[in-house]
A and B are shown apart, each in its own frame.
Chain A
């Protein structure tokens, strides 16, 4: 049994190498790392809006260095025209007047308050800081978590389905039906290859983007959640590939999963939007499991029990679909 598994494992690795899957994974890792370190983190450290001040009499003496002084109202109009999210402050008539292009009302209020706050030094009491993460650490963990979830849910899911569709197309599945090996091994070897590939991806992604010290501390928890998500997505991918006729049908299902399954999860987990029903969405719990792992938050044992149950159930469904597929061919 062990030998058969090794042979299948080696063959699946070769399939992925010839399909440039590992090369793609390395490419994605490099792309994500460049995006996080050279793009996202810098972007998060930038002020939310540019503030332009027209103050010919020089009345605003305590303004922040973030405020950009313009020489005339025409210059301010020009600045706002090219930067529609910017906020203008006109202090030419004594009182400060806010000038901006209209957007959503609550956002406009925030823009105006922020711009006005830059004209005076901070005088309020310092808020109590909860948690130990600096804003940069928080941003790094959030974005790394999102990228890992995307990689596992989308790229890994597509990858395993692509491999199985390829084997279906070549007809070799039915050859395995008459080989002296336990048929489950055919599925288990694929799961193992993709799981190891996902784990190998999660390690550098976390260390390079969260930081070596912080990343190493959370790595065991992240790898545990990666294992859960990787197995679930690989099994869903296998099931779809076995039940659907071709890759075109699969792409439609994938789009539906992306739109109806992933979008509400991201919205609920990362924004103030809350859906009443999101607690019933299985992906929400898996995503939150990963996010909790990045932030070192405890995860309920019920979640693990549910995850194991879903993985076992999915495996049984995949095995049944595989038996049907074997019977169909040849």
Chain B
């Protein structure tokens, strides 16, 4: 679906933002693109969505070089959720969605009412102007805008930003449903929970370089110290011990009365990111 080879981009003579990125995103995959501010992830997304021109290297979408692709044909197949909910504040959710949908062929469009319903948008606000909405409601309308054209490739920038925990769960469910339909999803995020729960593979970008690319599970496993932490009771005292995981094969290797919990001491994605880049995500 997406093929990027030796992608470079420079904003000026001495402002090289991307230093030769290489990655591919398969059809129907949810691909996470993680990086701190200024790392080049927005620039990459802008190049992939055809907003930014003048890059070096090769970028193909739907098997076609993006430089040679006919803009309108490409834009018909993609949906983009921006980091901020960009909507006409004086129009209602329905009017916004009808407006943006009207640029796509009728047979491609989804039903605006059903879409908003799936996103659990409050029906009372359907006809009210966007200026009266909360951030979470605006984010729901923005998501609906990205989905209204039934895109084959979906770019999501911080999709759960501004949502409460139940909203974030709902958005992850919607993204999963899109993937099940065969939509490829490219997620740019700071949110490690989203990346971990949603993405088939994640790429870490730092200073315009791709420093790691794998499934979240493998990235964590590769860097795991294979230790487990055991909480237990012994002679009325609560105690904690860390042991090597293989030691467990022969049973609990120490005296105890009751095991309370056993946790693998696996690194988080954020730990991995810091390890690969030397920087935090925010």
* Interface contact B104-A180, CB-CB below 8 Å: yes
- Residue from A18, A175, A182 in contact with B145 in the complex, judged by beta carbons closer than 8 Å: A175
* Interface contact B89-A178, CB-CB below 8 Å: no
- B residues within 8 A CB of A326? 51
Task: Tell me if B91 counts as interface (CB < 8 A to partner A).
Answer: yes
Q: Which residue of B lies closest to A7 (CB)?
A: B102
A197 to chain B, nearest CB (A): 18
Interface residues of B in 139-194 (CB under 8 A from A): 145, 157
- Residue from A11, A175, A179 in contact with B82 in the complex, judged by beta carbons closer than 8 Å: A175
Task: Tell me if A267 counts as interface (CB < 8 A to partner B).
Answer: no
- B residues within 8 A CB of A18? 90
Interface residues of A in 15-55 (CB under 8 A from B): 15, 18
Q: How does the 8 Å CB contact mask read for B117-147 relative to A, with 1 for contact and 0 for none?
A: 0000000000000000000000000000100
Q: How does the 8 Å CB contact mask read for A157-175 relative to B, with 1 for contact and 0 for none?
A: 0000000000000111011
* Interface contact B89-A170, CB-CB below 8 Å: yes
* Interface contact B86-A174, CB-CB below 8 Å: yes
- A residues within 8 A CB of B83? 330
Give 11 A-B pairs besides A18-B90, A327-B52, A330-B49 with Cβ atoms closer than 8 angstroms: A14-B90, A14-B91, A170-B88, A172-B88, A175-B86, A177-B49, A178-B51, A178-B78, A182-B72, A326-B51, A330-B45
- A residues within 8 A CB of B104? 180
* Interface contact B87-A174, CB-CB below 8 Å: no
A171 to chain B, nearest CB (A): 4
- A residues within 8 A CB of B215? none
* Interface contact B103-A179, CB-CB below 8 Å: yes
B209 to chain A, nearest CB (A): 22
At the interface, is chain B mostly helix, strand, loop or mixed?
A: loop
Q: How does the 8 Å CB contact mask read for B50-89 relative to A, with 1 for contact and 0 for none?
A: 1111000000000000000001110110101011101111
Q: Which residue of A lies closest to B89 (CB)?
A: A170
* Interface contact A172-B46, CB-CB below 8 Å: no
A3 to chain B, nearest CB (A): 8
Contact size class for B? 20 to 34
* Interface contact A11-B99, CB-CB below 8 Å: yes
- B residues within 8 A CB of A204? none
* Interface contact A180-B99, CB-CB below 8 Å: no
* Interface contact A327-B51, CB-CB below 8 Å: yes
- B residues within 8 A CB of A179? 75, 100, 103
| Complex CA distance for A326 and B145, rounded to whole angstroms | 18
* Interface contact A171-B82, CB-CB below 8 Å: yes
Q: How does the 8 Å CB contact mask read for B87-98 relative to A, with 1 for contact and 0 for none?
A: 111110000000
16 contacts between A and B (CB under 8 A): A7-B103, A11-B88, A15-B90, A18-B90, A170-B86, A170-B89, A172-B87, A175-B82, A177-B51, A178-B49, A178-B51, A327-B46, A327-B51, A330-B42, A330-B51, A330-B157
- A residues within 8 A CB of B75? 178-181
Most B CB within 10 A of own CB, among A11, A171, A174, A175? A175
| Complex CA distance for A179 and B51, rounded to whole angstroms | 10
Most B CB within 10 A of own CB, among A18, A327, A330? A330
At the interface, is chain A mostly helix, strand, loop or mixed?
A: helix
* Interface contact B76-A170, CB-CB below 8 Å: no
Task: Tell me if A4 counts as interface (CB < 8 A to partner B).
Answer: yes
B146 to chain A, nearest CB (A): 9
- Residue from A15, A170, A180 in contact with B87 in the complex, judged by beta carbons closer than 8 Å: A170
* Interface contact A174-B51, CB-CB below 8 Å: yes
- B residues within 8 A CB of A327? 46, 51-53
| Complex CA distance for A322 and B166, rounded to whole angstroms | 39
- A residues within 8 A CB of B89? 170
Q: How does the 8 Å CB contact mask read for A175-217 relative to B, with 1 for contact and 0 for none?
A: 1011111100000000000000000000000000000000000
- A residues within 8 A CB of B49? 177-178, 330
- Residue from A15, A174, A181 in contact with B103 in the complex, judged by beta carbons closer than 8 Å: A181
| Complex CA distance for A11 and B102, rounded to whole angstroms | 11
- A residues within 8 A CB of B53? 327
Q: Which residue of B lies closest to A171 (CB)?
A: B86
| Complex CA distance for A326 and B75, rounded to whole angstroms | 15
A7 to chain B, nearest CB (A): 5
| Complex CA distance for A174 and B53, rounded to whole angstroms | 14
- B residues within 8 A CB of A14? 90-91
| Complex CA distance for A265 and B14, rounded to whole angstroms | 45
| Complex CA distance for A177 and B86, rounded to whole angstroms | 12
| Complex CA distance for A68 and B45, rounded to whole angstroms | 83
- Residue from B50, B73, B84 in contact with A171 in the complex, judged by beta carbons closer than 8 Å: B84
| Complex CA distance for A177 and B157, rounded to whole angstroms | 16
- B residues within 8 A CB of A11? 88, 99
* Interface contact B90-A4, CB-CB below 8 Å: no
| Complex CA distance for A18 and B95, rounded to whole angstroms | 14
B205 to chain A, nearest CB (A): 17
